[in-house]
Amino acid sequence: MLTYTYFGKNDFRLTQKPVPDITEDTDALVRVTLAAICTSDLHIKHGSVPRAVPGVTVGHEAVGVVERVGKAVKNVRPGDRVSINVETFCGKCFFCKRGAVNNCTLPDGGWAMGCRIDGMQAEYVRVPHADCGLTLIPEGVSDAQALLVGDILATGYWAAKIADIEKDSDVLVIGAGPTGVCCALAAALKSPKRVFICDINEERLRFVQNNYPFLTPLKYADALGTLLRECPHGGADSVIEAAGSEESFRLAWQAARPNATVTVVAMYDRAQTLPLPDMYGKNLTFKTGGVDGCDAAEILSLIASGKLSATALITHTYPLSRADEAYALFESGADGVMKVALEPSL
């Protein structure tokens, strides 16, 4: 079968591999119908994910059809259309029971597929702990609609869930890339007064304006002034930082009103400083962490009922056989690209 494989720094290639076997009773084999390219794939490509194993098939955002299941799998059957979770987790440990599936204590858990074991930019993928890792796609929901559920929609949904967003409040999302937009869409479900979303990239702000008119795009340079001026209590009630630079980290706490919650989902390439003397008396609550993919079924039902749609983010689709071109476009940021989907059957 055709796969897109990581060989070393700046070396991803189309490679033929055997169709994977089911090796554990809890595994499922899924035929991938659509996969997406994520910024984390680029982190592997650029050599900044030390735990990524050379030789693995990359990709951790996909949907497909269950081909075979191990004896112990109960939740899915061959023929089921499923969304695949970026995280491998047990559903039973202390953290899983509390919904913190990204802290699952499984030795083979966490971000495994497309990093430490073969991932989803391939014709088939073996999904370990399939009862937790696969979620049925409701009838009427297309592959494109469900594609982002397992990773960036899960991230956005989780970020909005922990951000203490109250009705009629003001939310600021920093970063209008695909993850920031997912955070903003999930925040909007909480009925705040306004969801501001800022970015330095004006093309991305236009994308937000054209596709999601219920969000309020802001130029990055204007964001702090606008928030301080327009919010009744001296800043945003909830801030979600999804950009990941020193400046965006600073903006996150500066644009927050006293007693606000600042949720940090961004990845930083170096440590950030909390200048505590400058924020003394501001009484901020900080929440941090990566994707916590515990709500895939809930997200899919919101998509099925028309309350949530991130499909506009998929701006380009390529056959898997043209993955080199697809990655080049995604990396370049050209042509208004947000997310690129790969179709193995083409």
Q: Collect all residues with Cβ–Cβ distance below 8 Å to 50 and sequence separation of at least 6.
A: none
Site for Zn ion in 232-251 (CB under 5 A): none
Site membership for Zn ion, residue 159 (CB under 5 A): no
Residue 297, SS3 per DSSP: helix
In the complex, the smallest distance separating the C-beta of residue 94 from Zn ion, rounded to whole angstroms, is 8
How far is the CA of 226 from the CAs of 161, 187, 256, in angstroms? Answer: 25, 19, 12
Site membership for Zn ion, residue 294 (CB under 5 A): no
Tell me which stretch binds Zn ion (CB under 5 A): 5-13, 37-45, 179-187, 292-300. Answer: 37-45
In the complex, the smallest distance separating the C-beta of residue 137 from Zn ion, rounded to whole angstroms, is 19
Site membership for Zn ion, residue 38 (CB under 5 A): yes
Tell me which stretch binds Zn ion (CB under 5 A): 23-31, 119-127, 150-158, 335-343. Answer: 150-158
Nearer to Zn ion, 5 or 261 (CB): 5
Site membership for Zn ion, residue 149 (CB under 5 A): no
Tell me which stretch binds Zn ion (CB under 5 A): 89-97, 121-129, 163-171, 278-286. Answer: 89-97
Which of 151, 237, 292, 295 is close enough to bind Zn ion by CB under 5 A? 151
Which of 37, 44, 96, 141 is close enough to bind Zn ion by CB under 5 A? 96
User: Using the 8-state DSSP alphabet, how is residue 72 labeled?
Assistant: T
The stretches of 49-112 forming alpha helices (DSSP H) are 94-97
User: Using the 8-state DSSP alphabet, how is residue 57 labeled?
Assistant: B
Question: How far separated are the first and last CA of the chain, in Å rounded?
Answer: 13
d(CA 106, CA 89): 7
The encoded tokens of residue 99 equal: 């919904």
Site membership for Zn ion, residue 26 (CB under 5 A): no
Of the candidates 30, 15, 323, 47, the residue with the CA atom closest to the CA atom of residue 340: 323
Site membership for Zn ion, residue 104 (CB under 5 A): yes
In the complex, the smallest distance separating the C-beta of residue 116 from Zn ion, rounded to whole angstroms, is 14
Give residue 326's Cα distance to chain centre.
19
Of the candidates 118, 124, 111, the residue with the CA atom closest to the CA atom of residue 78: 124
Site membership for Zn ion, residue 90 (CB under 5 A): yes
Site membership for Zn ion, residue 93 (CB under 5 A): yes
Site membership for Zn ion, residue 144 (CB under 5 A): no
The encoded tokens of residue 332 equal: 């370049």
Site membership for Zn ion, residue 40 (CB under 5 A): yes
Site for Zn ion in 180-239 (CB under 5 A): none
Check if the beta carbon of residue 245 is closer than 8 Å to that of residue 255: no
Query: Which chain residues interact with Zn ion by CB under 5 A?
Result: 38, 40, 89-90, 93, 96, 104, 151
